[in-house]
Amino acid sequence: MIDCGRWWRPLALVLGLSPLAALALPRAASLTPCADQYLLGLADPSQIVAVSNYATDPGQSLFAAEARRYPSTRGGGEELVALRVEVVLTDRWMPLPVTERLERFGIRVVQIPLPETWDDIAATTRAIAAELERPEQGAARVADMRARLTRLAARREAAGQAPLAAYFLPDGGSAGSGTFIDAVLRAAGARNLAATLGRNGWGTFNLEQLTLAAPDVVVTGFFDQGGDTLRMAFARHPVFQRLLAGVPTIAVPDRYWICSGWFLAEAAEYIAERLPAAAGGL
C-alpha cells in the first residue's frame, strides 16, 4: 500500500498548509474578470480549478501571469461539474437562472458585490476569503490595503492643496460621491470634480459643465478597450478632445480597477504618483 502521507506532508509544508487543511479547501473557479482578481488574490493555488477567459489578459488582470497556470472556463454547468468545482466566484449581476442551474449541480455560487467604501471593500475581501476558507489571506490583503492607504494619507498631508480631477469613461460616464472612484481619487490626493459639483453615485457628465469647471487633471478609465462608435462618442467629441489637449491626463490601466476590491489601493497609488500640483479650480 502506498503511504500518501509520506509525499503529501512535504508538499503541504511547501504550500504553507497542514495536510488536513489543504485537503479541506474547496475547489474553486471564477467566471468574470472581477471574480478572477478575488480568486487569484485570495485562494490557495492548490484549490484553483479554473479561471475565466479574461484572466490571462494583462490589461484586465493584476494576476495575469499566475492565471496562465490554470485552464479557462466559460462557466457551463457540465464543464464545472466535470472539473469537480465546489465554489464559483462571479459578479452580482450574474443572471438568476444561471445561478440556479449551477446550484442544482451542487456548486456554491458566490456573487461578489460592488463595495463603494474602503471599509466595505475590507468586509467584502474578508467575506470572499472566508468562502474560500482562506481567512488569513483575506486579512493579509486588507492589511496591505490599509498600509497603502496610510502611506497615501501621509503623502496628501505633505502635498497641500489637492488638484481638481475629472474622471471619465469613454461614453461620458463619471462617478460622484459615494462611489469607489471617488474613494480612489480622494485617497490619491485629488478632489473629484463630479463630487465637487454635487453629483452622487454613477452617471454621465455634461460637456457644458466640463468646459466651465476647468479641472487640473483628467483621469480616464477603460479608454483602451475601444468599442462601437456610440460607446466612444464622448471620448471623440471635440470639446472633450480640447480638454485632453489642455490639461494633464492620467490613463489608469484597467487592471487596477477592473472592479472594486483591495487592489483599488494600487489604483490610488498609480494616480498619486502622476498627479500635477493644484492650479486652483472649484
Which residue carries 472581477 as its cell? 34
107: DSSP letter: P
**In whole angstroms, what separates CA 21 from the centre of its chain?**
28
- pLDDT means over runs of 10, the chain (282 residues): 36 42 82 97 98 95 96 90 95 82 91 96 98 98 98 92 92 93 98 93 81 88 70 80 90 94 98 81 47
Asked if 54 contacts 31 with a C-beta cutoff of 8 angstroms, the reply is no
Asked if 267 contacts 252 with a C-beta cutoff of 8 angstroms, the reply is yes
Query: Backbone dihedral region of 252: left (phi > 0), alpha (psi from -120 to 50 degrees) or beta?
Result: beta
Residue type, 71: P
In the chain, DSSP assigns E strands to 28-30, 48-50, 87-91, 108-112, 164-168, 173-175, 191-192, 202-204, 217-221, 249-252
- The predicted pLDDT at position 279 comes to 54
Spatial CB neighbours of 64, under 8 Å, sequence gap ≥ 6:
55, 56, 57, 58, 255
Q: What is the pTM of this model?
A: 0.86
The rounded distance, in Å, linking the Cα atoms of 71 and 241 is 41
Nearest to 184 by CA among 257, 273, 277: 257
Domain with CATH 3.40.50.1980 in the chain: 4-112, 162-272
Asked if 192 contacts 167 with a C-beta cutoff of 8 angstroms, the reply is yes
Query: Backbone dihedral region of 124: left (phi > 0), alpha (psi from -120 to 50 degrees) or beta?
Result: alpha
- The predicted pLDDT at position 7 comes to 33
Superfamily of domain 162-272: Nitrogenase molybdenum iron protein domain (3.40.50.1980)
4-112 CATH, one of 3.40.50.1980, 3.90.110.10, 1.10.10.10, 3.20.20.240: 3.40.50.1980
The rounded distance, in Å, linking the Cα atoms of 253 and 273 is 14
